[in-house]
Structure 1
Amino acid sequence: MPSIINQKSVKIFLRLALSISFLSAVADRFGLWSKEVSVWGNWENFVAYTKLLNPLIPESLINPVAIIATAAEVIFAVFLLLGFKTELFARLSGCLLLLFALSMAFSTGIKGAFDYSVFTSAGAAFALSLMKDKHLEVDVYLDKNKFQF
């Protein structure tokens, strides 16, 4: 009897978990979560948190850094959901999450990075990047039709 926990189901779970986590964080920045569950609640609070995590970055560059991080999270989430270049975007997600974790650890202490499982998420993204079999991914269709990006 086949196990429900196999590489196919784990890969799909990792793609969904990482994507939804990114999109949830982005939604919070734009006030789409209720105040009871929100971390930032609005863009200004997120930018202030970005400044806290990046004390060496000049004030004039904080807003662009926040925009770039947010854009990366949206792009990575969408591509992981679709299964477009999954290994690449999983690796990039792992790098972004590891950067967040290290920024948290060095600016606010290691406890927050552990409590919010940012290192764990980075590890999950890197693990996903090593899974080569394709399951419910756009890349399967693109490979069959010889489209190259």
Structure 2
Amino acid sequence: MKNADTYPQLVLRLALGIGFLLPVCDRLGILGAPGEKNVNWGNWENFANYTNLILPVVSPAVANFLGAIVSILEVVFGFCLILGFKTRLMALGSALLTLIFGILMAIFLGIYAPFGYPVFVFTGGGILLSCVEKFKWSLDDLAT
């Protein structure tokens, strides 16, 4: 990709990073209470219930644990992508996470579910970002 080490990679890093952090803020109630405008969950309980919908083959305790692990990964991916730290690894990890999430949504909620949100766009964006050779305006760039 010509010029991929300039503005496009920065915009993609920021969009993906913020896109991972905002849902975690939502499920922690930071963006507002359940039912408020632009709030999907509004609290951890609503998110845990959703997690159980896309993981019906495991116990609620396991689904809730996995939801917590995914939330931690989303925070790590979000901050690392924004800062440009271990960008290729974070981009691939985020692509894998969203691919798994999208497949689970399609299987247990129906094929439209992952396409109602940009789940596979995140997957593609992560894969695309992992192909960039140089991450200008990043901690990775400062380290070289």
Fold shared by both chains (TM-score > 0.5): yes
Query: Percent identity at matched positions?
Result: 38
Aligned residues: CA RMSD: 1.3
Q: Distance in 1 between matches of 2:14 and 2:141?
A: 17
For 1:10, which of 8, 21, 25 is the aligned residue? 8
TM-score (norm 2): 0.92
**Runs of 4+ residues over 3 Å off in structure 1:** none
Q: Distance in 2 between matches of 1:134 and 1:37?
A: 32
In the alignment, which residue of structure 2 is the partner of 1:28? 26
Offset of 1:62 from its aligned partner?
1.7
Report the count of equivalent residues: 139
**Could you give the per-residue CA deviations for residues 116-149 of structure 1, whole angstroms, max 9, x where no partner exists?**
0211111111100111112111112222xxxxxx
Q: Which amino acid aligns with 1:100?
A: F
In the alignment, which residue of structure 2 is the partner of 1:146? none
Describe the SS at the equivalent of 1:41: coil
Q: Distance in 1 between matches of 2:85 and 2:133?
A: 13
Q: More displaced, 57-66 or 76-85? A: 57-66
In the alignment, which residue of structure 1 is the partner of 2:143? 142
Q: Which amino acid aligns with 2:17?
A: S
Q: Distance in 1 between matches of 2:65 and 2:116?
A: 27
Gap runs ≥5 in structure 2: none
In the alignment, which residue of structure 2 is the partner of 1:112? 113
Describe the SS at the equivalent of 1:127: helix
**Could you give the per-residue CA deviations for residues 45-82 of structure 1, whole angstroms, max 9, x where no partner exists?**
00010000111122221221111000000001111111
Report the structure number with the largest CA radius of gyration.
1
Trace 1:1-149 onto structure 2 (pairs within 5 A): 6-7=3-4, 8-34=6-32, 35-143=36-144
Q: More displaced, 54-63 or 100-109? A: 54-63
Gap runs ≥5 in structure 1: 144-149
Contact 2:10 2:135 in 1 (8 A): no
Q: Distance in 2 between matches of 1:114 and 1:79?
A: 26
Q: Distance in 2 between matches of 1:102 and 1:128?
A: 21
Q: Distance in 2 between matches of 1:56 and 1:38?
A: 27
**Could you give the per-residue CA deviations for residues 86-111 of structure 1, whole angstroms, max 9, x where no partner exists?**
00100000000111111110010111
